[in-house]
Structures are given as C-alpha cells and as structure tokens.
Amino acid sequence: MRFYDLLFLAFSTLIRYPLRTLMLLIATSIGVMAVILLTAVGEGARDYITGEFKDMGTNLLIVMPGKNETTGGGSPADLAGVAPRDLTVEDAISLRQIEAINRIAPIVVGETPAQFNGLERSVPIIGTTPSFLAVRKWEMESGNFLPGVTLDRSPPVCVIGKEVESELFGKNNAIGQWLRVGDRRCRVTGVIATEGRAIGIDVQKIVVMPVSLATALFNRPSLFRIIAEARNTWEMDQIKKDIIRIIKKRHQGKEDITVIRQDAVMKSFDNIFDVLTMALGSIASISLFVAGILIMNVMLVAVSQRQSEIGLLKAIGAKNKQINYLFVTEAIILSGSGAILGLILGHTTTQVLKLAFPTFNFLPPLWASFVSLIVALVSGVIFGLLPARRASKLDPVIALSGNK
C-alpha cells in the first residue's frame, strides 16, 4: 500500500466519524495546551524574577559578613562559635581605594517607630548612601535622595516611601518636615516613587537614612551588606579578589566575608526556574498520556465497529501488517492533529493572557511546543498499537459475518 493511500484511507475514516474524531482531537489538544500554558507560566515567572535582578544591574558585587564555607575543624574560635567580625562603615570606606569600583552602597537594616505630628508607625529602616539610588535604579517622586550624604558625612536627612508619606503626613507636604525616627530626628528630603520590594522589604513602607545615622540609631556598627558596582563587568573577578584582600587585611588577616556576584545569583535563579518549568511541563505531559489512553479506548471500540470492513480488506488481499499500519496511522493522525490544534490553542491563549495580565509575561518556550508535539505523537503510536494489533489479528470469516 502506498503512503498517500494509507493517509487517504485513515483520513476518510476520521472524517466519516466526525464526533468521535472531534472528541479525541479535543482531548489531545487540551493536553498540549496544558503543556504550553504551564511552561509559559514557568518561563514567565523566570522572566519576572530575572527582570527584577536585571533592574538592579548585573555588574553588582555584594559583600556580606561571615564566610559561608564549611571548614573541617578550624581554629578554637570557630569551635567556640564566635561570631564573625562585623562589616563596618570603615570597611566600606576602605573599598574606595579600588579604582574599578564605580559606586559603593553600604546597607544597614533595622526597624523602629517613626513619628510625625502625633501619628506613629513602625517602619523598616535602610541606612545607606546616595549611591544606593543608582545601584537599585530607584526613582524619586519628589525631592532629593539623601543630599549631602557621603560615606563619612551624615547630615540628619531621610527619604520615605509613598505609604509612609500618606500614612504619616496625609495631605501635608512631607518634604522639609522633621520626622522623628526612634530617638533621632531627620528632615525629609524626598519621596521614593518606586514600588515593589528591596531586600525583601516593601519599598513604599521604608525610611531611608544616611548609613552613619542608622548605625547610631540602632547603636550597632555592623553593616548588613555592602553593594559595590563595578565599572565594567569583566573587572568583577579582580574586584572581588581586591575586596577580599583589603577586608582581610583590615580584619587581622582573617577572611571572614563573602563576596557574591549579582549575576551568579541571577544564574542560580535561572537554573531553579529551568527545573520548575520542566517540572510543570512534565506534569502537563501526563494529560497527554491520558489523551493517548482515550485514543486507545475509542480505537478499540472502533475496531469492533469496523469488523466487517476489516474482514473485507482481508478478503481482498490486505496483509495483517497493512491493517496494522492503517490503524496506527489513524492514531498518529489523530494525536498529531490534536497536538497541532493544541499548539494553536495554547499559543492563542497565552497571547490573550498577555493582554489580560500585562505585568506578567507569559513566555511559552519553544522546546515545550516541540516536546509536546513529540510526546503526543509517541503516545499516539504507543496507544494505537494495541487496537491496531487487535484489528490485524481478526479472523476474516468472523469479521465478515459480523455487523454490516
């Protein structure tokens, strides 16, 4: 039998039973659509997260106190569980000698009550320098971000998030007012426009103040982080070495800091989302196999419905193998066109979802389309084999005397 004859015969059967064909197409297409949609959500989530990181820039180095490393039985101090040396503002100042660093933003984090005109609320505090604005790519709604502040100079100024402004100042203009923060007072110089989160804190709820003011406020010299922005990405490895060298020297020769590259963090997130998307895709593939089983069931029924036709084909000289091919071809056409329908539906739906939720990017990955198509075809073959085999093994005499 010629290939196009096989296709023609299979197609003519599928057209002959439109309802059955439609149901199987829907079953397969839902499976494929599920793969496309779920992987689109996974990839969208990855895009969202890495986008957040990219906003911060990939040329950032983060210096953290403490060494995240397991060393086998180190010094007695390690055994005693002595805390690592603090990272201080002076450490941050010392990093200014590295020329390849563009900006340095130390960070102190804490929480304390803020008060204005009898209204009080507890606010997260970030103590830093003006570089922070550029490093985080924040934007100001009004005013300036910590004017006149440097690593070693800290006039009593602060910048507030939008929610702090509306909650404490109401309709009053916040800029120029004195805000009481803990036992200190600082003049509000600006309001941050940016929404979202920074270091896990809602930006709209924070108060940002000079780093020295914050260390004095919390009566604690230690920094939470130092963020260093490299002039060029290719210099980052050298900068990392320099930072470790300088801090080590300042910390009595003890390497007690961890320096991570922002892009490395992003990369590991990327890997996590790769796995997540694949997991979502595999879960959705199960529905493809369910569709395959459905095809098998319906085709088994079809074999008994079409007994007399199978008998006739045998009487006019069809070999068992040819009957087998005919039914497998039908299953493949069913699952294949179902998959193509599912691809169209899946991609259309993601486009619609993009319009409906413009902030979240739905990105169906290319591999998901390929994999779902192949999984659908393979399940078509696997689940078409049993009915095809049953058809080819039919006794022609019984088949011919069966239903007309």
Partner 1 sequence: MIHLENLCRHFEVGNQIVRALDEVDLEINKNEYVSIMGVSGSGKSTLLNILGLLDTPTSGSYVLSGVSTSKMNDDEMAHIRSTKIGFIFQSFHLIPRLTAAENVEMPMVISGLNPKERKEKVDNALARVSLTDRSDHRPEQLSGGQRQRVAIARSIVMEPDVLLADEPTGNLDSISSKEIIKLIEELNRGGLTLIVVTHDTHMGSRSDRLIELLDGKIVTDKKN
Catalog residues that contact partner 1 under the rule CB under 8 A: 1-2, 5, 9, 12-13, 15-16, 308-309, 311-322, 396-397, 400, 404
Beta strand 184-192 with 60-65 is: unpaired
Nearer to partner 1, 194 or 329 (CB): 329
How far apart are CB 26 and partner 1 at their closest, in Å? 22
Tell me the CA end-to-end span of the chain in Å, nearest whole number.
24
Token code pair at residue 55: 């906003």
Half-sphere exposure of 71 (CA within 13 A, CB side): 13
Distances (CA, A) of 336 to 20, 26, 53, 264, 285: 15, 12, 40, 41, 15
**Nearest to partner 1 of 176, 317 (CB atom):** 317
Rounded to whole angstroms, the Cα distance separating 266 from 51 reads 9
β-strands 157-160, 60-65: how paired? unpaired
Compare residues 23 and 400 and give the one whose CB is closer to partner 1.
400
Locus of tokens 């304390």: 112
> Which residue, 9 or 340, is less far from partner 1 as judged by CB?
9
**DSSP code for 218:** T
Considering the complex, what minimum distance in angstroms separates the CB of residue 404 from partner 1? 5
> DSSP strand E in 245-334: where?
257-261
| 5 vs 120, beta carbon nearer partner 1 | 5
Phi and psi angles of residue 128, each rounded to the nearest 5 degrees, phi first: -160, -160
8 A C-beta contact, residue 334 and residue 25 = yes
Q: How far is the CB of 5 from partner 1 (least distance, A)?
A: 5
Tell me the closest approach of the beta carbon of residue 368 to partner 1, in angstroms: 36
Shortest spacing between CB 2 and partner 1, in angstroms: 6
Q: For residue 228, which phi and psi values (nearest 5 degrees)?
A: -120, 130
Cβ proximity to partner 1, 2 vs 171, nearer residue: 2
The minimum distance between CB 312 and partner 1, in angstroms, equals 4
Q: Tell me whether residue 112 or residue 320 sits nearer to partner 1 (CB atom).
A: 320
Q: What are phi and psi of 186, to 5 degrees?
A: -145, 150
Q: How far is the CB of 349 from partner 1 (least distance, A)?
A: 34
Q: Which two tokens stand for residue 127?
A: 């103590």
